[in-house]
Structure 1
Amino acid sequence: MNMEMQTEYQREAVESFRKFLNSEIRPIAKQFRDRFIFKEKMREITMAIAEFGLPGASLAEEHGGMGLSMVTEAMLFEELVTVSVDIGLCVMINKGMTQLAADLPSPLRERYLPDMLAGRAFASFCISEPDVGSNVADIKVTARRDGDHFILNGEKTWISNGDYSDWIVVTARTGEKELTHILVDRKEHGYESRNIEKIALNSQSTAQIFLSDCRVPVTNVVGEVGSGLKNTMKTFEKARANVGMLSVGLMRAALEESIAYATERKQFGKVIAGHQLIAEKIAEMATMTDAARLMCFRAFSMMDAGVRCDVQSSMAKWFATEAAVKVCRDAVQLHGGNGLTKEFNVERLAREAIVIPVPDGTTEIQKLMISRALTGVGSFV
C-alpha cells in the first residue's frame, strides 16, 4: 500500500471509528465516570470496539489481525483514549496480550487468540509485586518444577485488567537467577484477584493477583524457560509508546474541552479566548499535545520498520506523560472555579493525568534508561 493510499485509508478508518465512539462509547464512559465497569459490560464494549480493528489492528492477517501499520493502529487508539482512558487502558492491555498470544505455540494460540481478537476475552501481563516495581530481576513469585508441571506461588500487584482477566502471563522465578513467563488460566489453574482503588481510572480493573499452588503444565511456558527477564524488557518498548498515546488522548480531550470553554465563557466583555494569557495557554497545550503525538509516532514508525526503539519509546513515554500532567492541570486553571467541579470533565482528566507517569516505569526510570543507553554508564547496582 503506497503512502497516498495509506493516508486515505487512515483518514477514513479514523473518521468512522470516531463517529462510533462519540455515539456509542462516550455515553457509556460518562455513565460510568469514576465507577467500575463490571466485566460483562466491559466485554460488551470491547466486542463492539473489536469490529473496528482493536485490539488486532497491527496483528498479521495470517493470525486473524488486520495487518495495519502500528502508526495506523496508534491513530485509532488515540481516538479511543480521547473518549475514555479507562476503556482505552483495558483495550491497550488486550492489544499487547493479543500480540503475545500470536507468538504462542500453535495449540495455545488457537485456544486463546480468537477470543482476544473478538474482544470476548481479557488477559493480563503480571510483572509488578508488592516489593518489586522497576527492579524486575528481584521478582519473588516462584514457579517450582514438579515433573511436567510448574507450581506457582506468590502475589502480583498493579495488574491492569487483573480482575477482568481470563488468563494471565506471569513473570515467575524458576531458578535462583532465572525468570520465566508462564501462562495461567483462571478457570483451569486457578488464581484470585482483587481490585485496587486509586485516585482515578477506577472504571477499569487494576488488581492484585494471588497465586496459591497453581499447577500449570510446562507446555504453558511462553518463549523459553529462563527468557523471562529478556522478554519482559522487550515488552516495555511497545508498552511505553502506548502509554505515551494514552497521554496524547488525555491532552487532546483537555484541549478540546478548553477550546470549547474559552470560546464561550465571557469575562471583561469578551470571550476569554481573546485574553492574551488564555490564548498563550491554549497555544502551549496544543503544541505539547502535537509534540507528544509525534514522539509516539516516531517510536511506532521505527517498530513498523523493524528497528529497536527502546530509547525513543522511553523518551515518548516520559515526555508525553509529564506533558499530560501540565496540559490537564492548565485546563483546570483555564476553567477557573468551574474546573474544580465534577460538572466539567477537566477535573477528572487532571486526576487521570497524575496516574499515567507511573505505569511501565516512572519518569525517573525512563530518564535513567535513556542516559544509560546514551552514555553506556548504568545507575543501578
Structure 2
Amino acid sequence: MGHVIRTEEQQGAIDGLRRYLDAEVDQVFSKEYRDQFVPKEKMAAIMQKLTEFGLVAGTVSEANGGMGIDWLTMTMLFEEVAATSADLSVPVLINSFGAQMIEKLAPAHLRERYLPGLLNGTSFVSMGISEPDVGSNVLEIKTRARRDGDDYIINGEKTWISNGVYSDFLICTCRTGEDPRRGLTHFLLDRKEHPYETRNIHKIAWNSQSTAQVFLHDVRVPASNMIGNEGAALKNTLSFFERSRVYVAGQGLGIARRALEEAIRYSKDRQQHGKPIAGHQLISAMLAEMATNVDAARLLTYRAASMIEAGVPAEMEAAMAKYFACEAAVKIARQAVQIHGANGLTTDFLVEKLAREAIVAPIPEGTTQIQQLIIGRALTGINAF
C-alpha cells in the first residue's frame, strides 16, 4: 500500500512473515477469538512461531542469543503484526522491551535464566509501571519495596498492565526511597517464586490479549533480583520510551493500514447506481485521503526508527510518530466504517472491530496530549507539564 523502499533482505523477511500471518494467524483474531480472550497456550504457540521471523528475538544481540536485527527492520516487521491484529502486537511489544531491559540491565544470573524464554516465545513478561493513581507521571509511583535483610518486601497495585494474566514474571517499578527521581527501582518477580495476583480488565477493544490489574501483597523478593542499580528505574524507563513509542506508532499504523485495505476491497466489490462505489468521486476522494495519511504515518514512524538505529536522539520524532499514527488510525478506521455504510456497523465486517481498536491506540505509552507536550518542550525548551 504505497511504495516502501526496502532492501532485498527486508522484503524477504516481510514476505515470509506476511504469508504466515495470513495463513495461520489472521483468522484466529478476526474470527475464532474475535473480542474473546486468547488462552495463554494458544498465544504462546503463535509467539513461538513469530520468534522464528525475528519478532522479539530480533531486538536482542546475537551475543545474548537474539538475532540482532536493526531497529528499522524490526519496525517493519512489527507493522505487519499490527496490521494483522492489534491484540497480537501487544505481547510482541511487551516481550520485546522486557527482553531488551533484561539484556541491558539485568545481572547475569537473571539474564541467563529469563532471557531465553522470551527469545523463543515460551514465556511472557509484564512491565509493572502504571498504577491506579499514576499514569504518565512515573514520579508519583506508590508501590513500595522495603528492605528486609537480603530481601525486599513489596506492596502495591499496578493497573493497565499488558501481558498481566499471561506473565511468567514481572519487572516491577517500586519506590525504594523518597527522592521522586532517584527513589525508584526495578525488581524482577517470578510468578511462581514471588506470587502476585492478576485480574483482566475488559475494554472497548483489545480484549483478545491480557490487560490486567496486578496486586502485590507482602511479596518477598531477593535483593539480587534488582534490575539495574537501586534508584535508577526512572532513568532506565525513560531511556526505553523512544523505542516503545515507535512500536506504539506502529500499532496505529497497522490498524490504519488494515482499515484502508478493507475499505478498498469493499469499495471495489460493493455496487451502487450501476457501478462499484469506488467509481464514485466522494468515495475515491476518501480513499485518497486515507492512503495519504497511512503513508504519512509510516514515514514518521520509519524516520523515528531510523534515527534510533543511527544513535540519534529521537524523543520529539518518536512522539510525533506516535501522535500522528495513532490519531490517523482513529480517523481512517472511522472513514472505513463510513465507506461500508450500514454494513460497517455489523460484526460481519472487520472495520467495526478496527474502529474500536483505533480508539484505544492514542492512549497507551502517553496519550496524544502527552505527546504534544513532549513535542512542544522539544521545540521551545520550556516544559509545559
Q: Assess same fold via TM > 0.5.
A: yes
Alignment partner of 2:350 out of 345, 352, 358 = 345
C-alpha distance in 2, partners of 1:308/1:162? 31
* CA distance, structure 1, for counterparts of residue 148 and residue 270 of structure 2: 68
- Say whether residues 1:57 and 2:58 are aligned partners: yes
Q: Which residue of 2 aligns with 1:12?
A: 12
Superposed displacement of residue 6, structure 1: 7.2
- How far apart are residue 154 of structure 1 and its match? 0.3
Report if aligned partners of 2:54, 2:69 keep a CA contact under 8 Å in 1: no
Tell me whether 1:179 sits opposite 2:184 in the alignment.
Answer: yes
Is the CA contact 2:293–2:328 (under 8 Å) kept in the aligned structure 1?
Answer: yes
1:201 aligns with 2:206: yes
What is the count of residue pairs matched by the alignment? 376
- 2:161 maps to which residue? 159
SS of match in other structure, 2:167: coil
Q: Which residue of 1 aligns with 2:270?
A: 265
Q: Which amino acid aligns with 2:43?
A: M
Percent identical residues: 55
Cα distance in 2 for residues equivalent to 1:83 and 1:229: 33
Query: Residue deviations 1:190-231, cap 9 Å, x none?
Result: 111000000000000000000111111111111110111111
| Distance across 2 between alignment mates of 1:333 and 1:26 | 23
Moved over 2 A (4+): none
Contact kept, 8 Å, 2:102 with 2:227, in 1: the verdict is no
Amino acid at match of 2:170: I
Letter in 1 for 2:96: K
- The correspondence for 1:118, drawn from 92, 117, 120, is 120
What corresponds to 2:97 in structure 1? 96
> Helix, strand or coil for the counterpart of 2:98?
helix
User: Deviation at 1:273?
Assistant: 0.6
| Separation in 2, partners of 1:338, 1:366 | 34
- Could you tell me how far apart the structure 1 residues matched to 2:224 and 2:275 are? 69
The aligned residue for residue 39 of structure 1 is 40
Tell me how far apart the structure 2 counterparts of residues 262 and 333 of structure 1 sit (CA, whole Å): 11
**Is structure 2 residue 324 aligned with structure 1 residue 319?**
yes
Deviations 1:322-366 (A, max 9, x none): 000000000000100000000000010000000010011000111
Distance 1:59 1:276 in 2: 48
1:135 maps to 2:137: yes
Measured after TM superposition, the shift of residue 49 of structure 1 is 1.3
Whole-Å Cα distance in 2 between the matches of residues 319 and 113 of structure 1? 33
Equivalent-residue separation in structure 2 for 1:283 and 1:38 (angstroms): 39
Residue 85 of structure 2 aligns with which residue?
Answer: 84
RMSD of equivalent CA atoms:
1.1
SS in 1 for 2:59: coil
Correspondence for 1:24:
24
Q: Output the CA distance in 1 between the equivalents of 2:233 and 2:70.
A: 27
Residue 290 of structure 1: SS of its match in structure 2? helix
What is the CA distance between 1:35 and its match in structure 2? 0.3
Query: How far apart, in 1, do the equivalents of 2:59 and 2:153 lie?
Result: 35
- Provide the rounded CA distance (Å) in 2 between the counterparts of 1:76 and 1:179: 33
Determine the C-alpha separation between the residues in 1 that align with 2:322 and 2:250. 8
Amino acid at match of 1:173: R
Moved more, 76-85 or 118-127: 76-85
C-alpha displacement at 1:58, in angstroms?
3.1
Contact kept? 2:245, 2:322, Cα under 8 Å: yes
Offset of residue 75 of structure 1? 1.1
The amino acid across from 1:111 in the alignment is R
- Please state if 1:295 is matched with 2:297: no
Using the size of structure 2 for normalisation, the TM-score is: 0.96
- Which residue does the alignment assign to 2:70? 69
